Structure 1
Amino acid sequence: MAGESYVDHEVLKAFAKNKVNVPKEEAKERRRQVNYLRERLEDYIAAHPDFDLVKLRASGSTAKHTAIRRRGGTGSDADVAAYLRVGGPDIGVSTVLAWLEERCKEVYGKTKVAGDFKPSDHAVGITMRGSGLKIDVVPVLYTGEPDDRGYLVTSGGTKVLTSVTLHLRFIEKRKGEAGDGYRELIRLLKAWIRESKEGDPELRCKSFLIELLVAHLWDVGWNGKPLQVDDYPQAIEQVLSYIVRTGLKTPIVFTDYYTADDVRTTTDPIRVWDPVNPENNVARGYTEFDRQRLVNHAKATLDTLTTAAYATTKSEALDLWRELFGPTFPGE
């Protein structure tokens, strides 16, 4: 296409490095703080054998290396899954969070003040004063199942069977096959969605859904071609084209840890199953309105990229790509 060379893989790779990826030193500091929290809590567990906190696992985008740099100082920088031993998953969420907050306060002792701990509806947020880093400690109700399976308490208060370890293994397997471009493509798509939500706050598309769409296209390809993880403009076009052409009506199932027959069918407008739990549609709660809005937005974005590909000047091409990634693109 005529203007493709104006915004090619190298331009997007540089943009990801300069504006999207978490800077190396910051990522290192996030992991150090998470490890410090884990070590403090694990030492506490060892000293209190009757303690009902069994183990801790780094989780979320930071652990998966799919996190993007923060904007505006809101949200969590890292997640830690705290596995709590319970007789069954029916215990009240507020009870669990109150108990977990007290344990975190005990672990940190007098090194932190009460304001550094902020419980939400599904996690205990801890702010590190020196760095400003925020870690969400998310309770997972553990009943002794293997592979770190336990019941995650979602922001809506629902308890969903999950496994932090198997989720990490799931993405590591595909990254191992595809190379570093796999996770950077996910980060670029997350940056696109974040920018899109700035213009349309009603647009719904969670990070995990982006990760699973990329995983699916890596597994099966699109239009007879593998997902082009070494050509970001082409790969982004493939993902957008998949969303538009399928309308997100085609169910997506992964068989790494269960068979397709295990999936509990639903009538949800978007059906993308959690690779660890065949009963959990990660798009549960998305309405037909949400589906159409996301598909229409992907179509508008695809149209913009098509126009950019035929741009006759670099300035024109960059202006069009800024509709995806905001005014800082290309971030040179």
Structure 2
Amino acid sequence: MSDETHVTHAVLRRFAENWVNVAKEQAKRRREQVNHLKARLEVHVAANPGYDLVKLRASGSTAKHTSISRRRGEGSDADVAAYLRCADPDIDEAKLLEWLWERCQEVYGKTKVADDFVISQHAVGITLRGSGLKIDVAPVLYTGEEDDKGFLVTRQGQRVLTSVTLHLRFIRDRRKLAGPGYPELIRLLKAWIREAKSRDPQLRCKSFLLELVVAHLWDTGWHGAGLQVADYPVAFEQVLAYITTTGLQTPIVFGDFYATDEISATSDPIQIWDPVNPENNIASSYTDANRKRLVEAAASALDSVSWAATAPTQGAAYDAWRELFGPSFPGE
């Protein structure tokens, strides 16, 4: 057995640069298409009754610098929050997503088909066939509160408190302390879960869940050690060990923007609380079977990482990490 660790921080960093991170040209094209949508959407919202457009804000992974380069055929994602103020007191909020869906269709006119516009739980998804870009436009009811606080409206008409500004501040504050390794670690974890989902389509794990697990470990450490964002193999082992050991049955709560005792008791199998909204468990829709499946995926990945750390040859170590990232690893 060799004493040499074949998959080092430098190896994983090169893999991230070559296969995971969004390339500059791709990011530029994404910004151009999002800016086109924003400019056109302003016109169409202004021309229609019901809501006044207050502002448009970039949100989600792109704004957080945690988005990843997608595989061919998957497209790329960008998120826009449309802050709206109700201009008609008699309007039905439950139809807000349908109203925005119509405005988004007007932006592109006859250049797109109806199937390119899909309403999800909180947003209108727009697929641009030429570039493969998928833009999610989330309407946020703006009530004039500070820090861009407002309410997402679900398809069922329920209000969910959110704030693009505070979500971005939450990750930015940690990134400032941790350095560039913090968002890149998140991107690598997203690449792992993407590969895991390709092998198990029933696996559930939203990227926001991974972001909050990383934030929790940055805040609290694991087994007396801080999250090693300058040593990706060790950091991966810490994250996977946390998920495996706790079984995701320990609530994760952040006190950045509210008192932690504002969290209400719940029987949800996974409890990871939105750092902006103490009433929003971001994993509330996950069943116990979903939890167990994710824990099993993490345990399998942990076995591969642990084996790679002591593998006798570089080939054996690379094969172990290919269990996490697929055949493209190490991507050189």
Q: Residue type of the partner of 2:189?
A: L
Provide the C-alpha distance between the structure 2 equivalents of 1:3 and 1:169, rounded to a whole number of angstroms: 42
1:201-280 aligned within 5 A = 201-280=201-280
Q: Residue type of the partner of 1:69?
A: S
Conserved? CA contact 1:38–1:56, under 8 Å: yes
- CA deviations 1:244-280 (Å, max 9, x no partner) are 2222111111111001111122111111100000010
Change (3 A) 1:239 1:155: farther
Conserved? CA contact 1:101–1:117, under 8 Å: no
Secondary structure at the residue paired with 1:274?
coil
Counterpart of 2:119 in structure 1 is: 120
Q: Residue type of the partner of 2:194?
A: R
Provide the C-alpha distance between the structure 2 equivalents of 1:75 and 1:264, rounded to a whole number of angstroms: 38
More moved, 245-254 vs 128-137: 128-137
Conserved? CA contact 2:45–2:103, under 8 Å: no
Counterpart of 1:185 in structure 2 is: 185
Change (3 A) 1:79 1:271: same
1:68-79 aligned within 5 A = 68-74=68-74, 77-79=77-79
Counterpart of 2:316 in structure 1 is: 316
Conserved? CA contact 2:30–2:78, under 8 Å: yes
- CA deviations 1:187-227 (Å, max 9, x no partner) are 00011111111111121111000000000111111111111
Counterpart of 1:67 in structure 2 is: 67
Provide the C-alpha distance between the structure 2 equivalents of 1:293 and 1:199, rounded to a whole number of angstroms: 12
Counterpart of 2:9 in structure 1 is: 9
Indicate the percent of aligned positions where both proteins have the same amino acid.
64
Change (3 A) 1:292 1:157: farther
- CA deviations 1:1-60 (Å, max 9, x no partner) are 946521000000000111111111101221222223223334666788985222211111
Provide the C-alpha distance between the structure 2 equivalents of 1:247 and 1:265, rounded to a whole number of angstroms: 19
Provide the C-alpha distance between the structure 2 equivalents of 1:183 and 1:21, rounded to a whole number of angstroms: 10
Change (3 A) 1:3 1:158: farther
Secondary structure at the residue paired with 1:5?
coil
Provide the C-alpha distance between the structure 1 equivalents of 2:46 and 2:223, rounded to a whole number of angstroms: 54
Secondary structure at the residue paired with 2:80?
strand
Q: Residue type of the partner of 1:104?
A: C
Q: Residue type of the partner of 1:146?
A: E
Please list every run of 5 or more consecutive structure 2 residues that lacks an aligned counterpart in the other structure. Answer: none
The structural deviation recorded for 1:120 is 2.2
Provide the C-alpha distance between the structure 1 equivalents of 2:153 and 2:76, rounded to a whole number of angstroms: 16
More moved, 223-232 vs 34-43: 34-43
The structural deviation recorded for 1:76 is 5.3
Q: Residue type of the partner of 2:190?
A: K
Q: Residue type of the partner of 2:119?
A: S
Conserved? CA contact 1:19–1:69, under 8 Å: yes
Change (3 A) 1:153 1:2: farther
Change (3 A) 1:96 1:222: same
Provide the C-alpha distance between the structure 2 equivalents of 1:172 and 1:85, rounded to a whole number of angstroms: 28
Provide the C-alpha distance between the structure 2 equivalents of 1:331 and 1:320, rounded to a whole number of angstroms: 14
Provide the C-alpha distance between the structure 2 equivalents of 1:156 and 1:184, rounded to a whole number of angstroms: 36
Counterpart of 1:294 in structure 2 is: 294
Secondary structure at the residue paired with 2:147?
coil
Counterpart of 1:142 in structure 2 is: 142
Change (3 A) 1:47 1:152: closer
Conserved? CA contact 2:97–2:155, under 8 Å: no
Number of residue-to-residue matches in the alignment: 329
1:78-93 aligned within 5 A = 78-86=78-86, 91-93=92-94
Q: CA-atom RMSD, angstroms?
A: 2.6
Provide the C-alpha distance between the structure 2 equivalents of 1:331 and 1:236, rounded to a whole number of angstroms: 18
Secondary structure at the residue paired with 2:57?
strand
Conserved? CA contact 1:140–1:153, under 8 Å: yes
- CA deviations 1:288-318 (Å, max 9, x no partner) are 2222222222122111111111111111111
Secondary structure at the residue paired with 1:56?
strand
TM (normalized to structure 1)?
0.90
